[in-house]
Amino acid sequence: MIGGIYIKKKDDFYTAKRDIVFKTIFCDEDKPDLLIALLSSILEIKINKFLFLNTELKITYIGERRKIVDLFVLVNDNMYVHLEVNGETTIETIFRNYAFFYHQIATKTLKSEDYNLDDEFIHIDLSYGLGKKEYDIKEVYTFKNETGEIERLTNVKGYEFNMDKISDMWYSEDEEFKSKYKYLVMLDMNKEKLEELSEKYKGDEVIMAYKTEVIKLNESERFASLVTYEQDIQFMGNTQRNLGRKEGLNEGISIGRVEGISIGRDEGLNEAKQKFAISLLADGVPINKIAKYTSLSKKEIKALKANKD
């Protein structure tokens, strides 16, 4: 970390497990072929028409944070597809994703003259961090009654793919499985594994194109200087804790700045932590993570949130 910029290590290889990589490679409106191939394999349909839609949701009140989804597209004129890559899956992540998904449904419904049940709304979670045993490879969520005999909202579905389990199953002997999920497996493969994958599926243009793009991205100096929002928060939190340790050794001496806040005595450091926590709350960062990044207690953060609200 130099001057607020993450310096990529020589052996680091960023995969599409990261939002920034996924969006750069798959969300290019001028080159949609890779995304069309990926969605075709996930949805198990042939895609004839394809349109990128706005991924930034409307801000409805002052102080509301920006809401940008990973992917929102219209497929074959009547299927709205919302996709999120979850590098770390928590209940907060899933809640946020579905909140955005239903916001999109509401938006499309309000713009229509009636409730058009011919349109389909599909939410897809590509979830890492679920573990290899607790969840199936693919979970399908629909609106059914307790016995499962009656289904409501047949045009609304949620798909969640357990990316850890898919990656683990890749080393099985099930060739049918490997062929079916090869485009999902490749998303978190390093350079060496991608070479093996392209050798296994010689002539697969999708795998070759993805391999070329992700390697080119990793070799780009500009991209190597970027850092995900999550990492940036982590680095700032680490910096703040380090400053706090130095403060104990250099009592009474101003030793630096975090987000433009001077760090002085213990009172100043605690005030800086509180202001930093408030800014994270405004961005919707979960309380448990704020506690991790600032070393404030959850009770203190909840009190800050209550005062803020």
Tokens of 36: 């069309």
pLDDT in the model for residue 92: 84
Mean per-residue pLDDT over the chain, rounded? 77
Indicate whether 249 and 122 sit together in one domain: no
Indicate whether 181 and 301 sit together in one domain: no
Q: With respect to residue 12, please indicate whether it lies within any of the assigned structural domains.
A: no
Stated as kind and residue range, the H or E segment containing 73 is strand 71-75
Position 12, amino acid: D
Tens-digit pLDDT profile for residues 269-286: 577 678 777 877 776 777
Tokens of 21: 């990589």
Give mean pLDDT, residues 203-208. Answer: 96
Indicate whether 85 and 193 sit together in one domain: yes
Question: Which pTM does this prediction carry?
Answer: 0.68
pLDDT in the model for residue 271: 73
Work out the pLDDT band at 85, boundaries 50, 70, 90: very high
DSSP 167-221: HHHTTSS-HHHHHHHHHHHGGG--HHHHHHHHHHTTT-HHHHHHHHHHHHHHH-H
Q: In the block, which residue shows the tokens 């990793």?
A: 218
- What is the rounded distance in angstroms from the CA atom of residue 178 to the CA atom of residue 200? 11
Indicate whether 236 and 188 sit together in one domain: no
Structural domain for 106, as ranges: 19-224
Q: With respect to residue 14, please indicate whether it lies within any of the assigned structural domains.
A: no
pLDDT in the model for residue 226: 57
Indicate whether 179 and 254 sit together in one domain: no
Q: Which of 205, 224, 243 is the last residue of a domain?
A: 224
Indicate whether 181 and 220 sit together in one domain: yes
pLDDT in the model for residue 235: 46
SS3 90: coil
Indicate whether 213 and 243 sit together in one domain: no
Residue 295 · residue 241 · CB < 8 Å: yes
Q: Which of 224, 256, 287 is the last residue of a domain?
A: 224
Q: In the block, which residue shows the tokens 């979830």?
A: 127
- Asked if pLDDT for residue 251 goes beyond 80, the answer is no
